[in-house]
Amino acid sequence: MVRKLLFTGLGSALLLGGCVANTSQVPMATTYPYSEQQKMQAAHHWDVLAEYEAAGILRSASLRGRSLFINPTQAGSTFAQSFGDLLTSQLVSNGALVRTDPINAARVDYRVQLVEHQDRDYVRAPVGTWTALSAGIAVATLPINNWSEPALALIPGAALVDAFSGSWESVSNQEVIVTTQVSENDRILYSSSNIYYINGDDAGQYESPKPLPVTDAW
C-alpha cells in the first residue's frame, strides 16, 4: 500500500513538473542560429566593399547603360571620403560612365551609420570550439610523453595555432551599417546595405566631424 502511494505521488510530481516546465509568464530569450559577420580593419576592406557595390550596380538591369553621378555631400568621415573615391575607381575601371555633374545621370548616395552596443551580454564561442581546442591540447601532450626529441613537441601546438588563428576574430561592441543607393527622378533603382564589426578605436573613422559650436562675436 505504501509503495503504491509512493508511485502515485512520484507520478503526480512528474506530471506537475512537466506542466510547469512547459509554461512561462513571458517569452524566454533564445539565440539566433550560428552566423558570421566580417570585421573591417583596413582600408583594403573598404576597397573590397567598393568593388562589391560597383559589381552590384553594374549588374542591375535598371541601371544598364545609365550615366552615374557619385554624390559627395555625405562624405564627411574618413571612411565616407575614401569610399566615394574607391567606388568611383571601381566603377570606372569596370566600364561604367561616371559623370562629374548630376545632369542626366543617376545619383549614387551612400550612408554610414555607426552602431554602439552598451549592454551586450556574454557572447559564447561557436559550438565545437572548446571540443576542438581540447582535442588539440590532448594531442599536443602526446609527444611530450612519447617523443624522444623535445623540439618535436612544438609541432602539434603550432599546427593547431595555424589552423585556427587566421579565422578567429574578437566580437566588437561597435558596428557600422553602410548603405549604397542609386536613384533617379525620386525613384530608387538600386539599394544595398552591409553590416560590419569594427574595432572600438576605429569608430572615429566612420563619424562625420561635429560642427563647431556657434559663439557670439563681441
DSSP letter string over 65-98? T--EEE--TT--SHHHHHHHHHHHHHHHHTT--E
Nearest-angstrom CA–CA distance, 199 and 19: 47
Residue 77 shares a structural domain with residue 153: no
pLDDT: is 142 or 127 the higher one? 127
Q: Quick check: 147 and 70 in contact, CB under 8 A?
A: no
Asked if pLDDT for residue 165 goes beyond 60, the answer is no
Asked if pLDDT for residue 183 goes beyond 70, the answer is yes
Q: Quick check: 81 and 110 in contact, CB under 8 A?
A: no
Least confident segment among 71-80, 96-105, 170-179: 71-80
Nearest-angstrom CA–CA distance, 87 and 51: 7
Q: What is the CATH number of the domain that holds 191?
A: 3.40.50
Residue 87 shares a structural domain with residue 155: no
Which pLDDT belongs to residue 159?
A: 56
Which pLDDT belongs to residue 22?
A: 73
Residue 81 shares a structural domain with residue 149: no
Number of domains in the chain: 2
Nearest-angstrom CA–CA distance, 50 and 68: 15
Which pLDDT belongs to residue 132?
A: 58
Residue 65 shares a structural domain with residue 143: no
Which pLDDT belongs to residue 120?
A: 72
Residue 112 shares a structural domain with residue 141: no
Nearest to 91 by CA among 70, 116, 118: 70
Residue 58 shares a structural domain with residue 101: yes
Asked if pLDDT for residue 218 goes beyond 90, the answer is no
Nearest to 88 by CA among 110, 104, 103: 110
In a domain, 3, yes or no: no
Least confident segment among 91-100, 128-137, 183-192, 198-207: 128-137
Residue 59 shares a structural domain with residue 143: no
Least confident segment among 42-46, 107-111, 130-134: 130-134
The residues that bridge with 70 in the sheet, in sequence order, are: 108
Contacts made by residues 45-50, CB under 8 angstroms, sequence distance 24+:
45/196, 46/79, 46/82, 46/83, 46/86, 47/86, 47/90, 49/83, 49/178, 49/194, 50/83, 50/86, 50/87, 50/89, 50/90
Task: Give the predicted TM-score (pTM) of the model.
Answer: 0.70
Asked if pLDDT for residue 88 goes beyond 70, the answer is yes
pLDDT tens for each residue of 15-59: 655 555 677 888 988 888 888 899 999 999 999 999 999 999 999
Least confident segment among 27-41, 55-69, 160-174, 188-202: 160-174
Residue 44 shares a structural domain with residue 136: no
In a domain, 192, yes or no: yes
- Please state the separation of Cα 64 from the chain's center in Å: 30
Segments forming the whole domain that contains residue 145: 124-170
Helix, strand, or coil here: 122?
A: coil
Asked if pLDDT for residue 68 goes beyond 70, the answer is yes
pLDDT > 70 fraction of the chain, expressed in percent and rounded: 63
Residue 104 shares a structural domain with residue 179: yes
Residue 106 shares a structural domain with residue 194: yes
pLDDT: is 114 or 146 the higher one? 114
In a domain, 55, yes or no: yes
Nearest-angstrom CA–CA distance, 113 and 31: 25
Which pLDDT belongs to residue 29?
A: 84
